[in-house]
Chains A and B, each alone.
Chain A
């Protein structure tokens, strides 16, 4: 009896809290039929927003993956003074509000920021332009790759690497041929998490981007513009696309983790 009640309670909560919202996104997007929803994407501003999001995501993932791998190498295979401080600093962005994550870049590169005016005299604009959006996106997705790789690489120890060294391998060979293949599930999982976060980032980007339609609007910002302009169908069509992209990425990560579990690699410990 109590089993049944528990099951019913679970289903009810899941249905109301977790199932209704994504359903609503697609229902609202298709309210006037599929053609009306698809028409959203014919708009040049919408296309510009999609491209900007793809570009910013790709670049953030590239930067944070490259440095995340190197950081995980240094922090998992070696001990050195200040290691603990570095670990804390890498995780710091997780506890910073997205809005603050945008604000800090304005303090450096905004018109009233430390270097904004000086850079502007040389024709370099960072705030209210793509470079600012990129910096904000890198900041909010900063730790994910390092965080997923590190515990796994640490558990793997350094025996394989030392063996490779004795056999004459250099640093890049060891990293590329020995360490990373053993950590490929965790690496991929970290990259997917970074991707999902990067394309959905709203607060940080909203502060630094200046909201210029067609120029500095990413998909989440374009959704806000459409919604506030009472273009509900268009807003939800764009939201549906973004949600599909993000949910696919996260779902892939789930499949991957089950795969890794089966392979006995252990679950990547990475919760943010």
Chain B
């Protein structure tokens, strides 16, 4: 059974429940781990969870009614979802070419897929802003066609799509590799049409991976900052993303406001990962196969 890629958070179980233990080092290693996780992850995130309520519920309630914040959240979520959606066909195409064809230069393509992941976000930011800017290599011809990319919501989506692409390709790749080409041959022999092969044979086993890729790209997109702010334009109500609003609130010394936005973003990210993980489980159950992980 092909094993679907795991979402972060779903680690394999240990091989066997161990006896009362002979191996040394558990106390030391566990103590160090708890210290490390406690001080560097739990403590700061606790501050984020507590701080919005510290001055009463008023700042959080005010934040929830702040139209500028709602607009920023809507923009962040909307463009992250759209970008992740656009990445599905693009990612599928690239993954397919890498796994199923003997494309000349496949090694180079393979290496380039990781580029958005490798490029520091600030570098991505200024590069995309220049590339799609009014005088940019791609921005200028697009402007002639009447399409403005830089400093519009379209630019935000484009930056998020760039950043999210490797997540989709890399989740699809192993699943495609595990999918035997014989399956399609068998379907052809049984008289299936091309479209039937795609929708009945190829797509169903890929759906869980597509959902995972979408979820990872989406979760990353909600919080993305550096690669977006240079191309975004950053006008309130129009092209101001939620992470930028956190920064602006902090510059206004409005800690409560900043924390409220940050807290909602965090909740949303967890929620989307949980939904995707549940959806993925459901989709793979629909295939009649258990999950390996």
Once the chains bind, are A10 and B103 in contact (CB under 8 Å)? yes
Interface of A, secondary structure class, is helix
Docked Cα-Cα span, A147 to B11, in Å, equals 9
Q: Is the interface of B mostly helix, strand, loop or mixed?
A: helix
Q: Chain B's nearest CB lies how many Å from the CB of A153?
A: 10
Given A110-B255, A239-B126, residue A174 in contact with residue B24 (CB < 8 A) = yes
Does residue A103 face the partner (Cβ distance < 8 Å to B)? Answer: yes
Known: A6-B96, A71-B32, A99-B225. 14 other contacts (CB 8 A): A17-B165, A25-B123, A78-B23, A88-B9, A95-B269, A97-B224, A100-B48, A108-B44, A158-B18, A202-B120, A203-B121, A203-B226, A223-B122, A271-B171
Whose C-beta in chain B lies nearest to the C-beta of A115? B47
Question: What residue in chain B is nearest A135 (Cβ atoms)?
Answer: B40
Measured between C-beta atoms, what is the minimum distance from B109 to chain A in Å? 5
CB atoms of B14 and A154 under 8 A apart: yes
In the complex, which residues 13-37 of chain B have their Cβ closer than 8 Å to any Cβ of chain A? 14-15, 17-18, 21-26, 28-30, 32-34, 36-37
- Out of B36, B230, B266, name the residue touching A96 (CB < 8 Å): B266
Which of A235-253 touch B at CB < 8 Å?
Answer: 235-236, 239, 242-243, 246-247, 249-251
A95 touches B219 (CB 8 A): yes
B115: Cβ under 8 A from any A Cβ: yes
The answer for the CA separation of A154 and B156 in the assembled complex, in Å, is 41
A25 to B47, CA, bound (A): 39
Interface residues on B, range: 35 or more
Report the stretch among A36-44, A79-87, A117-125, A182-190 that lies at the interface: A79-87
Q: How many A-B residue pairs have CB under 8 A?
A: 278
Give the Cβ gap from A134 to chain B, nearest Cβ, in Å: 11
In the assembled complex, B203 has its CB within 8 A of some CB on chain A: no
Determine whether the beta carbon of B119 is less than 8 Å from that of A246: yes
Chain B residues whose CB sits within 8 angstroms of the CB of A203 once the complex forms: 121, 223, 225-226, 243
